[in-house]
Amino acid sequence: MQVKVRPGDTLWKYSIWFGIPYQLILDSNREAAAGVLAVGDTVQIPGYIWAEHTVIAGDSLWRIATMNGVSVDLLLQSNPELQGEMLSIGSKIAVPRRVTRRVVDARRLYGYGSLLEDMNRLTDIYPFLVRSDIGTSVMGKPIPALGIGNGNKKIHFNGSMHANEWITTPVLMQFLNDYLLSLTNSMDLGGLAMYPQYLTTTLSIVPMVNPDGVNLVVSGPPDGEPFRSEAIAINGGSNDFSGWKANIRGVDLNKQFPALWERDAVQGPQVPAPRDYSGTAPLTEPEARSLAEFTRASGFQRALAFHTQGKVIFWGFEGLEPPQSEVLANEFAAVSGYEAVRNADSAAGYKDWFIQDFRLPGFTVELGSGINPLPIEQFGEIYDSALSIMLAALYM
C-alpha cells in the first residue's frame, strides 16, 4: 500500500501508526536513504491494502476506524481532505486495511501462471520481499527467485526441479505467505517468533526450477513448435505427461550437476526421455546452469531441495558432508516424522553438488508418499511436514 508523505512524516512514525516493525518499513522503501523523506514522496506500507468505505447514516470516523481495526488518526492521515468528524452520506473514504489472511492460492493445479499470480500478489502487499530472475528456461520463461531478510545466515530452498513434483511449488509459496503474515501481524508461525529470523537470516527461495516441465504436466504440451512435437515424441506419442520429470527437452535437471555426473549418466537413458536422462554433459540445460550460477554467487550456508515422494530426508554425499548435516537431518526427521537417510544410490543431483563443492549441509527432502504427481488432496499433510522442516532449517 502506498501513502503520500506529509510534513513531519518519518518512516519511524509510519511504523508506529501502522504497527509494522521499523525494519520492514525501511526494507520496503530502500530508496529512502537513511529514512529521509520529502513531502509528496510515496512510501510503501507492507502488510496493508487500500479498501474503500462508503459513508452511511450514523457513521463516524471512530466507528469506521473501529470496524477496520485502525485509529482515527490513521484515517485522517489517509484522507487529509476530511474536516474533523463531518462526513457526508455517500462519500467515499479510503481505509488502510491490514492483511491478515493468506493471498496465495495453493490448493490447485499449480503451473507457471499460478506462480506468477501469487508472486505478484505477495510482492504488491509485501514490498520488502525481493524478486529477481536467476535465468530463463529452455522456452524462455524467467526463473524467479524470492528473497526475504538481510541477515548473515543464508539459507536456500528450491522446488519443482522435477516436473511432476510440482506440488513442492505451492508448498514453498504458502510457507512464504505464512512467513510474511507472521512478520506484519507480529504472530508466531508454528509456535515460533519469525521477526528475529528476519533480522538474522537471508532466505532465498526458487519455487519453480523447471517451469516448462511443470506446465507440461499440469497443462499438457505447449502450442508452439518445435517444443510441442518434440515433447510428444519423447513421451512415446502420448499426451499424458503425468510421468514426466524432465525439462521440455527431456533432460532430468536433478541429474545435471557436476558431482559424479559421469558415473550417473551411464546408468540411465542415453537419449532424451521423460525421466532420468542426464544430458550430454553437466549443466547443459539453462535451468540447472542458472541454479548453479545463482548458488555460487549467493553464498548459501545450507540448501534444501524439495521433491516428492517418500517421506525421506537425504543428507549425505560420498562422505563429504560436514558433521552439522547429520545434526540438522535428525532434527528435520524429529519434527516431521520423516526418515533421515545419509546416502541415496544416486549422484549428479543439486544436493550432491552443493555438498561436494561447498562442503556445507545440503538436503533432498522427499515430501509425501504415493505416485507422482501427488494429489492435491495430500497438500495439507505435506505442508505441515514441510513447514516443520523449513522452520527447523531457519532456527537451527
Annotation says 366 is catalytic: yes
User: Cell 485522517 maps to which residue?
Assistant: 76
The proportion of the chain whose per-residue pLDDT surpasses 90, expressed as a percent, equals 86
pLDDT for the residue numbered 139: 98
Q: Is residue 252 a contact partner of residue 209, using CB atoms and an 8 Å limit?
A: no
11-to-14, 42, 151, 245, 294 alpha-carbon distances in Å: 5, 11, 21, 47, 33
CA 53, 57, 63, 64: dihedral to nearest 10 degrees?
Answer: 10
Contacts by residues 292-296 (CB-CB < 8 Å, ≥ 24 positions apart): 292/257, 292/353, 293/134, 293/135, 294/134, 294/135, 294/145, 294/206, 295/156, 295/354
pLDDT for the residue numbered 40: 87
Question: Do 90 and 144 lie in a common domain?
Answer: no
Domain contains 303: yes
pLDDT for the residue numbered 68: 84
Q: Among 52, 73, 98, give the residue marking a domain's end.
A: 98
pLDDT at 271 over 70: yes
| CATH code for position 54 | 3.10.350.10
Q: Which residue has the higher pLDDT, 378 or 79?
A: 378
Question: Do 18 and 130 lie in a common domain?
Answer: no
Peptide bond into 323 cis (omega under 30): no
pLDDT for the residue numbered 377: 95
Question: Do 330 and 387 lie in a common domain?
Answer: yes
* pLDDT, tens digit, 9 for 90 and up, residues 178-214: 999 999 999 999 999 999 999 999 999 999 999 999 9
pLDDT for the residue numbered 35: 61
Question: Do 326 and 183 lie in a common domain?
Answer: yes
Question: Do 20 and 52 lie in a common domain?
Answer: yes
* pLDDT, tens digit, 9 for 90 and up, residues 87-134: 889 999 999 999 999 999 999 999 999 999 999 999 999 999 999 999
Domain contains 34: yes
Question: Do 297 and 390 lie in a common domain?
Answer: yes
* pLDDT, tens digit, 9 for 90 and up, residues 3-55: 888 888 889 999 998 999 999 999 999 887 666 788 888 999 999 999 999 99
Which uninterrupted H or E stretch holds 15? helix 11-18
Question: Do 94 and 124 lie in a common domain?
Answer: no
| Residue 369: other Cβ atoms inside 10 A | 14
Question: Do 126 and 93 lie in a common domain?
Answer: no
Tell me the average pLDDT of the chain: 95
Q: Among 50, 74, 98, give the residue marking a domain's end.
A: 98
Domain contains 8: yes
Domain contains 242: no
Residue 63 contacts by C-beta under 8 Å, 6 or more apart in sequence? Answer: none
Which position among 230, 293, 366, 377 bears the catalytic label? 366
| CATH code for position 288 | 3.40.630.10
pLDDT for the residue numbered 33: 60
Question: Do 38 and 132 lie in a common domain?
Answer: no
Q: Is residue 5 a contact partner of residue 37, using CB atoms and an 8 Å limit?
A: yes
Report the domain count for the chain. 2
Q: Among 45, 66, 98, give the residue marking a domain's end.
A: 98
Domain contains 249: no
Q: From 344, 11, 326, 354, select the one nearest 204 (Cα to Cα).
A: 354
Q: Which residue has the higher pLDDT, 286 or 5?
A: 286
Average pLDDT over residues 259-282: 96
Question: Do 27 and 165 lie in a common domain?
Answer: no
Question: Do 193 and 310 lie in a common domain?
Answer: yes
Domain contains 141: yes
Question: Is residue 85 very low, low, confident or very high in pLDDT (cuts 50, 70, 90)?
Answer: low
Average pLDDT over residues 220-227: 96
Question: Do 81 and 192 lie in a common domain?
Answer: no
Domain contains 263: no
pLDDT for the residue numbered 84: 58
Domain contains 54: yes
Task: Note down the domain range covering 348.
Answer: 112-213+282-395
